[in-house]
Amino acid sequence: MRQWLGQAVGLSVVISALLGCNQLPVSQGTPYTGNTYANTSATQPGASPAVVVDPQRCADEVDCQLKRLRTVVFLGDVARAGGPRLVRQGESMVTPAGGMVEGWPQLRIDFPTSLSGKFVIQSDCASEHCRFDAETLRRVYRSHLAGEPQRLKEVACKAPGATHKLVGRWYEERELDGKQVKQLLALNADGRFQLDYQVHDVSAVDVGQESGCWSQQGDQQVLETTEVSGRPVYYRDSYRLVEQRGDSLVLEKADGAHSTARRVHAGFALQEPDGPSVSF
């Protein structure tokens, strides 16, 4: 409940910031027609109404205000995907100093100051890899402005296809510092992965789940983790594909250690621990 209230207060602050900055006067009598506005106030008999096609532009003052509100929804989508929380800076929303999130580019959204202007999103990836490239962010933002929003979590992964040789479920058991580790890695055809794992100790079993996107880049299997036990995160791991033969998969980790997994059927799952368990 406390978290929900904090999100609600934060959302109201963002809405006030968006609508309070150089707000254009509200126009009356301009009807909304789906994803576009028809400006009929100056339409002469027999003339066709002007229709806005570019979602980054405004049809009129009402349309501008609506798209500011849709920007709020987009910023919420960014936050839910684990991205930064933007703050107001003049006629823009920007990633604040000290507000960078690992794996995310620095974001900036500029609002139009007149009806001839446009909504513009900019992104600058300062690291070698960012979870979203500039074109993907621009495409998703435009979908929000158009009233047909895509979700960042749904477009993050690139599908390798159902025929890719690594698609499937892979199970591994190994020893780590005297503890038994069991993990089940599901590599899905849509580019998503889910890793369920258990670390068995004498006193308890640590359990956890990671999820995100996977891909194969040359001889490297890449896992981009975006959630750990429901918490948004971002980190990127690469493993060298040593061998994949039949139902056996051998990967080499960064420290040179080999990890060997076997393919299991679609209904295979880790058994519930017998003793007490602790979630990561």
Query: What is 143-206 written as a DSSP string?
Result: HHHTT----HHHHSSPP--TT-TT-EEEEEEEEETTEEEEEEEEE-TTSEEEEEEEEE-SS-EE
Rg (CA), the chain: 24
pLDDT at position 37: 36
* DSSP symbol at 252: E
Cα(8)–Cα(11) distance, integer angstroms: 5
The answer to whether the beta carbons of residues 234 and 144 sit under 8 Å apart is no
Is beta strand 277-279 parallel, antiparallel or unpaired with respect to 205-217?
parallel
Within 8 A by CB and 6+ apart from 5, the residues are: none
pLDDT at position 41: 39
The answer to whether the beta carbons of residues 180 and 173 sit under 8 Å apart is yes
Q: b/e per residue, 101-113, with b = 16+ CB within 10 A?
A: bebbbbbbbbbbe
Which residue type occupies 265? H
Q: b/e per residue, 207-245, with b = 16+ CB within 10 A?
A: bebbbbbbbeeeeebbbbbbbbeeeeebebebbebeebe
Residue owning tokens 């996977």: 214
Within 8 A by CB and 6+ apart from 170, the residues are: 184, 185, 186, 187, 249, 261, 262, 263, 264
Q: b/e per residue, 122-140, with b = 16+ CB within 10 A?
A: ebeeeeeebbbeeebbbeb
pLDDT at position 280: 60
The pLDDT tens digits for 127-158 are: 878 888 899 999 999 999 999 999 988 777 88
Listed in sequence order, the DSSP H helices in the chain are: 2-20, 61-80, 134-145, 152-155
Cα(103)–Cα(232) distance, integer angstroms: 11
Beta bridge partners of 231: 228
User: What global pTM score does this model have?
Assistant: 0.63
The answer to whether the beta carbons of residues 205 and 189 sit under 8 Å apart is no
Under-50 pLDDT residues of the chain = 1-9, 11-13, 17, 20-44
